[in-house]
Amino acid sequence: MNNIQVGIIMGSDSDLLVMKAAFEVLHDLGIESEITALSAHRVPEAVAEYAKTAAGRGLKVIIAGAGVAAHLPG
């Protein structure tokens, strides 16, 4: 069974340095998480699919972040 509870999604790999901190805090707290880079501009269908399938994968929370344009987190 998949125990991943939190999805961390960012606009691109250039956001990884900042978003990795969230991943590490969750890990330190014993909370399973996944981290993914998906651009709302370049691959909007993939972002939509990520959101649609989140609950089925066991995600209860999605943390979204982006550097310059904040379309991903809304």
pLDDT tens string 1-42: 468 999 999 989 988 988 999 999 999 999 999 999 998 889
Residue 47 — pLDDT band, cuts 50, 70, 90? very high
Residue 67 — pLDDT band, cuts 50, 70, 90? confident
Q: Could you tell me the residue range of the domain that residue 39 belongs to?
A: 6-65
C-alpha 28/C-alpha 21 separation (Å) is 11
Residue at 72 is within a domain: no
Residue at 20 is within a domain: yes
Residue at 41 is within a domain: yes
The pTM for the full model equals 0.84
User: Per the structure, how many domains does the chain have?
Assistant: 1
C-alpha 43/C-alpha 26 separation (Å) is 27
Q: What is the CATH number of the domain that holds 19?
A: 3.40.50.1970
pLDDT > 90: what percent of the chain? 68
Phi, psi (deg, nearest 5) at residue 72: -65, -55
